[in-house]
Amino acid sequence: MSVQIAPTRSNLMKIKNELAFSRTGYELLDQKRSILVSELLTLVDQAVDYQNRVEKALADADESLQDAIMHMGRLRVANLAGAVSISSSITLSQRKVMGVSLPKVATEFSGKGPFFSPEGISMVSEIAVSRFSDALSLMGQMAELKVSIMRLAREVKKTIRKVNSLEKLVIPDRMETVKYLTGRIEEAERENFVLMKAVKDRMEREAGK
């Protein structure tokens, strides 16, 4: 108990209410922590999977690009790049998990192949364009997961600090204060009872004279 409080029944009731409120807050925050940790672990598993998918998609796209260069030459591929007309858009929205805003990323591409005249052009170039588009879409999802993980991890850390504060400081302090006030009030009531009894006995003795 950090501060001495007058041992009155009103103060005792106030501290008991604070103790009940702290315990309720602890239970709610503990539930929040569990839900956030569960969501965080789920997203981490997804991020590991997406990381592998992104790396594979980029490797496949680069392989297709190198194949196109081998078939048509670097200069020819560079010149053809200007013929690719693809518009991309990224739509950002959000969802909430226990009050935490998490991003949702949707990547869309408009413009479909074939982008080149088939004469003298290898289909590998079309495949390269398609694979790079797929890789970019996966990278958008990967960004969504990474930002979500960062926000959830930050919120989990804050929630754990609050839970620990309630569990190790606030609740024990309120319990100690309740015990102290209860003891002092009971002691004062006993003393008052003894005093009143003594007064009554004295009054009865004087009345009997």
Residue 96 lies in a domain: yes
Could you tell me if 18 and 174 are in contact, meaning their C-beta atoms sit under 8 angstroms apart? yes
> At residue 19, does pLDDT exceed 60?
yes
- Residue 85 pLDDT greater than 70, yes or no: no
Task: Classify residue 20: in a domain, yes or no.
Answer: yes
167 occurs within a structural domain: yes
Q: Is residue 3 part of a domain?
A: no
Report which residue type is found at 55: E
Number of domains in the chain: 1
Weakest-pLDDT range from 41-50, 57-66, 149-158, 195-204: 195-204
209 is a domain residue = no
Which H or E element spans position 58?
A: helix 9-72
Domain of 47? 9-204
Mean pLDDT of the chain: 85
In a domain, 49, yes or no: yes
What is the distance between the alpha carbons of residues 174 and 14, in angstroms, rounded to a whole number?
A: 10
* Section 198-208 average pLDDT: 74
Q: Is the pLDDT of residue 54 over 70?
A: yes
Report residue 8 as tokens: 């009155």
Judge whether 71 lies within some domain: yes
In a domain, 2, yes or no: no
- Domain CATH code at residue 48: 1.10.287.3240
Q: 45 pLDDT band (50/70/90 cuts)? A: very high
